[in-house]
Structure 1
Amino acid sequence: MITSIFEKTKPVNFIILLVFLFLFYWSVQFYLLDFALDDIEIVPSLGILSLLLFSVFIVDFVVKRNKLTRTNSFAILFFTLLFVVFPETLIDNKAIFTSFFLLLAMRRLLSIKSLKNIKLKIFDAGLWICISSIFYEWALLYLLLVFAAIFIYEPKNIRNWLVIISVGFCFFMILYGILVLLDKPSFIQNHYDFAIDYDAILPLKWWSSLKMSLFAIVNMGLAFSTFINLNKAGMGKVIVMRLIAFSFVIGLVVNVLVTSDNNNAVMITFFPSVVFIVNYLESIKKPKILELVLIASIVVPIIVFVTKL
């Protein structure tokens, strides 16, 4: 039954998932965090929630436009379910903003494969990444993904590499101008200090987070399975999947660097994770097994969340 609903792209799928995410967001605020209505600023919260819901459409657009999966709604289903697995990420507004702008950057970055307007796409992707760094300074590491895309698609054109410099200059000038108007010019120096909490990244502490560790291990296994199944696919899709895998690795690194006792930044890894999950599901040939996997993927996270309430 679940397979029949989400194996095709239908407007009702968006309605179901958006309503669920809307209700789940407020459940986290009121029940998991035990906030009172007076503790929540309604207008800013609605703005952040709108950004979160719009992210679902961006994920669906990027997946469909770049043919990262088949024509189904599994991507937005699992993008929504990952919030149930990691409800704490909805507490961190910075994670929501960062993830949103990184999705916009990924949209432009993956479109470079068409080899049209490459410089414009590099500029857009770099600018979105720079904007995301306003919330998490370590998000600038995603610029490595831009360098990787240039190296793969058109490395001999020196102007492509110079675009990154122009992006940094434009972003700095605009940001500094805004900060001067707001009388907060010290923000750049204070925010972009790239301080590392070494106690937070010790292996023993990292592996003590069982859920995050399992998430990383499972996705690495799914990525390995995806690349094995892509042997018969065109080289173009293999390259795109390599970029997505690289973005997941960068996301894990950023998640470690910006967190200490929590994993709120894990949301920035949801998109590549979703791509790997759906590609694995599409490799399952038996409908009954696929149905059981989907049911378990929905029921188990919800049960775990309910037990926390």
Structure 2
Amino acid sequence: MLTNLFSKSRPIGYVVIGLMLLITYLIHLVNDLKWLQSPAVIIEKSFLFVVVAFSVLLIQFITVKNYLAVNNLYSLFLYACFLILFPTFYDDAQLIIANLLVLLALRRVISLQTLNEPKIKIFDASLWIFVATLFESWTILYFVMIYLAIIWYVNQDYRNWIIPLIALLTVTILFYTYSLFYNINLVEFWTDKYDIGFNFSYFDNIYQNIALSFLATIAVLFTVYQLTNLKSIATNQVTLYKNIVLCFVIGAAIYIITPEKSNGLLVFTFFPLSIIGGNFIANTPNKWVKEAVLATILGVSLLLFLLKL
């Protein structure tokens, strides 16, 4: 049933995924109804869901545009399941915005493989990442992907190496101007932004721990699958999938080193995992295995979501 529903990119698949996210988002909000007392907060919560929905659609755009999947919705479905598995993500507005900005940057980095307008893409990606650091400081690690992409695709032109610095200067000037208007103390703003912490005792309940363990298991299985199948990927796509694996490593690193941890920080691993997992499902010849994987991930995600309420 799930295999048939998401094996093709059809409107019904998008509707089902959209309803999954909307219903679970509303159920999560019902836990604390104080937000209903303020029209401003209602608008904020509505806006944040729109941002999340746009992020999900952006993932499908990146996937299709760069031939990371062939006309299916498996990656989109997995991404939605991961969001349901970790609903604390919805409580952090800055994290939601930072995630969208990172996805916009990754869209440009990944599309560098086409070699069309590389300078514009490098500038755009750098700009989005620098803006993302204003919301989640350790997203600065994604600059590793930008410079590796320059090495892999467009290292012949020395100007490509300077472009990220121009983006840095642009964001610095704009943020400095913004800080003058709103009386933001830049020293206080950046103080402790790049602290490192390895305290993992932040769980509010055992179900958050189980959810993390479940995602870690999935991550190991999917990543091992991807690494062992690099040789079977077309030569012109190998670097692209190395980028996806690197994206997962950076996302995991952000979660590991951020001092104020939450399961919501794992959102930076969802995009690469959904791409790798979507390919695993699409390339599995046995339909019942596909169905079992999809049903297990959806079932566990929904069960843990309800238990954490």
Common fold: TM-score over 0.5? yes
Local SS of the residue matching 1:67: coil
Which residue is 1:218 aligned to?
Answer: 218
Identity %: 24
CA gap of 1:222–1:96, structure 2 versus 1, over 3 A, is: same
CA gap of 1:197–1:34, structure 2 versus 1, over 3 A, is: farther
1:106-185 to structure 2, matched below 5 A, reads 106-184=106-184
Alpha carbons 1:29, 1:35 under 8 Å: kept: no
The one-letter amino acid paired with 2:193 is F
Residue segments in structure 2 that go unaligned for 5+ positions in a row:
202-207
Deviations 1:270-304 (A, max 9, x none): 10110111111122111122112222222222122
Q: Give 1:115 shift.
A: 0.9
Q: Give 1:261 shift.
A: 4.9
Which residue is 1:233 aligned to?
Answer: 233
The one-letter amino acid paired with 1:126 is S
Residue segments in structure 1 that go unaligned for 5+ positions in a row:
203-207
In structure 1, distance between residues paired with 2:122 and 2:210:
37
The one-letter amino acid paired with 2:43 is V
In structure 2, distance between residues paired with 1:191 and 1:218:
35
In structure 2, distance between residues paired with 1:199 and 1:239:
31
The one-letter amino acid paired with 1:167 is A
In structure 2, distance between residues paired with 1:266 and 1:37:
28
Q: Give 1:214 shift.
A: 4.5
In structure 1, distance between residues paired with 2:261 and 2:187:
25
**TM-score, length basis structure 1:** 0.91
The more displaced of 144-153 and 249-258 is 249-258
Total equivalences in the alignment: 302
Q: Give 1:156 shift.
A: 2.7
In structure 2, distance between residues paired with 1:255 and 1:86:
13
In structure 1, distance between residues paired with 2:186 and 2:265:
21
1:153-302 to structure 2, matched below 5 A, reads 153-184=153-184, 186-187=185-186, 190-191=189-190, 193-200=192-199, 209=209, 211-302=211-302
Which residue is 1:47 aligned to?
Answer: 47
In structure 1, distance between residues paired with 2:137 and 2:196:
14
Q: Give 1:8 shift.
A: 0.4
Which residue is 1:78 aligned to?
Answer: 78
In structure 2, distance between residues paired with 1:61 and 1:265:
23
The one-letter amino acid paired with 2:307 is T
CA gap of 1:197–1:68, structure 2 versus 1, over 3 A, is: same
Alpha carbons 1:109, 1:149 under 8 Å: kept: yes
RMSD: 2.1
**TM-score, length basis structure 2:** 0.91
In structure 2, distance between residues paired with 1:174 and 1:118:
24
In structure 1, distance between residues paired with 2:226 and 2:131:
31
Deviations 1:220-275 (A, max 9, x none): 33122123223232222111111111111111111223343522211121101101
In structure 2, distance between residues paired with 1:4 and 1:13:
10
Deviations 1:60-88 (A, max 9, x none): 00000111122101111111110111111
